[in-house]
């Protein structure tokens, strides 16, 4: 067990309040919710006795560490609440694998000015080209910047809104999805959009949401089908056109024209496996 430091002594060599003062300090820290400072108090006091920093630098060090911990917890809560479940980052993206992709454009997006401008973002491309990876990475970055982000696959978002029709919470759910500063609607074109008998249909629900957000907050979308196929996918060509019309107005468009990374990983695995097999006589 770590040895408790001896009673704090100030620069002049005077007793620094003693055990009672130390107990009061612990109670203050607990009351103020400065849990990191409380948990590390023994170490902090021991270090202060050893290094004897000035009062300003001691306070700055202690409160700086507490603030950093609080920020970290806040970002973790934002990421957890966003619905982004995979840890994807721009740093982990292999840009050399997708040489036609404009790396500078993503560096610019990572600054998140487009969210401040309420611009939309539409990324299209074939399966496995990294669309979801890139948007999850940008979503994570936005959480780190303390922005309110929500992420959902298109079918899950539509299912959530549909559930609201059954229990009378449709409007409330629609408003909730309209609130985030950045809403990521991933994988338009993937998964079966269920046929709705009751209004609004899937296409109408998505339209209502995009219309609510249009010009007020950023919506980022990925799609592995051509935008011209959205009508067929959503089951209503006219409403799909109205959605695209709004998205097109304020959207940054990126098309990833390249190979599938999934395919690449599968091929690498297969060749590693083949190389492991003992050579036939
Ligand atoms: N250039 C890349 N560098 C590193 N990992 C990549 C790259 N491109 C894709 N990946 C990884 O490959 C997998 C598939 O990528 P992702 O899910 O982003 O593809 P997608 O374009 O969204 O495909 P789909 O249209 O099928 O949804 C993920 O695990 C992702 O992290
Ligand atoms: Mg995807």
Per-domain residue ranges of the chain:
18-81, 84-265
- The CB of 94 under 6 Å from ligand 1? The reply is yes
Nearest CA to ligand 1 atom 8: 130
* Digit-coded pLDDT (tens) for 89-114: 999 999 999 999 999 999 999 999 99
Ligand 1 atom, smallest distance to 98 CA: 1
**Parallel, antiparallel or unpaired: strands 149-153 and 251-256:** unpaired
Three-state SS at 169: coil
Kind and range of the H or E element at 124? strand 120-125
Q: Check if the beta carbon of residue 134 is closer than 8 Å to that of residue 123.
A: yes
pLDDT confidence bin for 43, thresholds 50/70/90: very high
Cα-to-centroid distance, 224 and ligand 1 (Å): 12
Decide: residue 261, CB within 10 A, 0-12 exposed, 13-18 middle, 19+ buried. Answer: middle
State yes or no: pLDDT of 227 exceeds 60: yes
- The CB of 66 under 6 Å from ligand 1? The reply is no
Nearest CA to ligand 1 atom 16: 130
Cα-to-centroid distance, 43 and ligand 1 (Å): 44
- The CB of 164 under 6 Å from ligand 1? The reply is no
Query: Which of 102-111, 170-179, 204-213, 226-235 shows the lowest per-residue confidence on average (mean pLDDT)?
Result: 226-235
Cα-to-centroid distance, 220 and ligand 2 (Å): 12
Q: What is the DSSP letter of 235?
A: T
The pTM assigned to this predicted structure is: 0.85
The CATH number of 84-265, from 3.50.50.100, 1.10.150.120, 1.10.3720.10, 3.40.50.300, is 3.40.50.300
């Amino acid at each position: 067990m770590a040895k408790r430091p001896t009673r704090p002594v100030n620069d002049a060599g005077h007793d620094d309040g003693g055990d009672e003062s130390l107990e009061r300090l612990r109670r203050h820290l607990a009351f103020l919710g400065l849990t990191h400072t409380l948990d590390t108090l023994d170490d902090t006091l021991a270090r202060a006795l050893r290094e004897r920093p000035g009062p300003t630098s001691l306070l700055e060090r202690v409160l700086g560490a507490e603030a950093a911990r609080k920020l970290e917890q806040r970002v973790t809560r934002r990421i957890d609440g966003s619905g982004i479940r995979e840890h994807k980052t721009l740093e982990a993206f292999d840009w050399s694998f997708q040489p036609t992709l404009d790396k500078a454009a993503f560096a610019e997006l990572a600054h998140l000015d487009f969210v401040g401008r309420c611009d939309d973002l539409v990324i299209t491309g074939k399966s496995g080209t990294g669309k979801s990876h890139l948007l999850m990475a940008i979503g994570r970055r936005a959480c780190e910047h303390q922005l309110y982000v929500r992420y959902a696959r298109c079918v899950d978002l539509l299912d959530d809104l549909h559930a609201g029709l059954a229990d009378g919470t449709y409007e409330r759910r629609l408003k909730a999805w309209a609130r985030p500063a950045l809403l990521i609607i991933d994988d338009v074109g993937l998964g079966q959009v269920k046929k709705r008998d009751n209004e609004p249909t899937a296409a109408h629900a998505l339209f209502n949401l995009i219309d609510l957000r249009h010009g007020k907050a950023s919506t980022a979308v990925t799609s592995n089908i051509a935008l011209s196929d959205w009508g067929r996918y959503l089951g209503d060509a006219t409403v799909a056109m109205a959605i695209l019309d709004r998205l097109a107005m304020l959207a940054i468009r990126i098309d990833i024209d390249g190979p599938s990374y999934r395919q690449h990983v599968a091929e690498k695995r297969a060749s590693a496996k083949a190389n492991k097999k003992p050579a036939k006589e």
